[in-house]
């Protein structure tokens, strides 16, 4: 399956701490994207990293990609209560040629 | 428009009835996607439009599901003879480039409940 597997499934931290979520996959990809979802409704695109990139930053977000290990991580630094949400990785490329979403990590940031 | 608009936001229907879900993508976005998300689950791909054509409808779960897009803009997803397992949040997204090349902008979804 091309679907990304996210780890952990759930994460609870205190405000100000860093949160790290991981995504592993099995097939080749063209790019990997991270999305945030609040309250089970629309998703918000956070960041896209291409297969020839190893690291990208956007504000408090840092994404890494290791194509040899077929894994990516999303780091949120100095977390805030407003970061509480589900985070999904999404893979593009490989045989299916569509954007396939992972299973998600539920992040709870305690104030 | 400024974002992707979906209507209705909530729909409760009786088993066996037909429903139509509407998606109004960002103006100028040529690519449009429908996904489905069951409670506590990830997103399940349904169909992809490029302009008015659907090069990939492999995710439609059965022939009760159909979708169309007109004028390269608004799309409707129709579910005929709804079943309880159709209950889910139906999410629409659009993007300015072809599938997967850049990030998608999602609507807020339609929560469908079949009773």
Facing A42 at nearest CB: one of B41, B42, B109 = B109
Q: Does the pLDDT value for residue A1 go beyond 60? A: no
Contact: A98, B89; criterion CB under 8 Å: no
Cα separation, B89 vs B11, in Å, equals 10
Amino acid A95: pLDDT: 61
Which one has a higher pLDDT value, A2 or B100? B100
What tokens appear for B45 in the block?
Answer: 């791909």
Of the pLDDT bands very low, low, confident and very high (cuts 50, 70, 90), residue A10 is very high
Amino acid A40: pLDDT: 66
Report yes or no: A30 and A51 within 8 Å, Cβ to Cβ: yes
Amino acid B78: pLDDT: 98
Mean predicted lDDT score pLDDT of chain A = 92
Work out the burial of residue B15: count CB atoms within 10 Å of its CB; fewer than 13 is exposed, 13-18 middle, 19 or more buried.
exposed
Facing B109 at nearest CB: one of A33, A41, A97 = A41
Distance from CA of B16 to the nearest CA of A (A): 25
How many angstroms separate the first and last alpha carbons of chain B? 33
Phi first, then psi, for residue A83 (nearest 5°) are: -80, -10
User: How does pLDDT run across A24-66, given as a tens digit for each residue?
Assistant: 999 889 999 999 999 867 899 999 999 999 999 999 999 999 9
Residue A103: how many CB atoms within 10 A of its CB?
A: 18
Amino acid A16: pLDDT: 97
User: How does pLDDT run across A75-95, given as a tens digit for each residue?
Assistant: 999 999 999 999 999 999 866
Amino acid A93: pLDDT: 83
What residue ranges of chain B have pLDDT lower than 70? 1
Contact: A40, B91; criterion CB under 8 Å: no
Amino acid A94: pLDDT: 64
Q: Which residue of A has its CA nearest to B6?
A: A42
Instruction: Give, in order, the Cα–Cα distances in Å from A24 to each of A110, B2, B11, B99.
Output: 27, 34, 35, 21
Contact: B45, A99; criterion CB under 8 Å: yes
User: How does pLDDT run across A60-76, given as a tens digit for each residue?
Assistant: 999 999 999 999 999 99
For residue A31, list chain B residues with Cβ-Cβ distance below 8 A: 100-101
What tokens appear for A106 in the block?
Answer: 């539920």
Cα separation, A58 vs B23, in Å, equals 29
| Strand extents, DSSP E, B14-72 | 19-24, 31-37, 43-50, 53-56, 65-69
Contact: B43, A103; criterion CB under 8 Å: no
**With an 8 Å Cβ cutoff, is B91 touching chain A?**
yes
């Amino acid at each position: 399956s091309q679907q990304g597997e996210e780890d952990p499934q759930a994460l609870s931290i205190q405000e100000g701490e860093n949160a790290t979520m991981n995504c592993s996959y099995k097939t080749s990809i063209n790019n990997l994207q991270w999305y945030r979802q609040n309250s089970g409704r629309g998703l918000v695109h956070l960041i896209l990293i291409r297969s020839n990139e190893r690291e990208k930053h956007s504000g408090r977000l840092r994404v890494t990609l290791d194509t040899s290990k077929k894994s990516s991580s999303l780091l949120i630094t100095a977390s805030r209560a407003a970061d509480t949400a589900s985070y999904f990785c999404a893979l593009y490329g490989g045989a299916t040629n569509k954007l396939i979403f992972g299973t998600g990590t539920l992040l709870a940031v305690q104030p | 428009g400024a974002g992707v608009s979906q209507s209705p936001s909530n729909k409760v229907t009786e088993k066996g009835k037909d429903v139509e879900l509407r998606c109004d993508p960002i103006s100028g976005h040529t690519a449009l996607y429908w996904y489905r998300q069951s409670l506590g689950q990830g997103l399940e791909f349904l169909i992809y439009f490029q302009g008015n054509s659907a090069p990939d409808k492999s995710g439609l779960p059965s022939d009760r599901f159909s979708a169309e897009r007109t004028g390269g803009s608004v799309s409707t997803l129709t579910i005929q003879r709804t079943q309880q397992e159709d209950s889910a949040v139906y999410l629409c997204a659009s993007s300015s480039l072809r599938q997967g090349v850049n990030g998608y902008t999602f609507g807020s979804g339609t929560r469908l409940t079949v009773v």
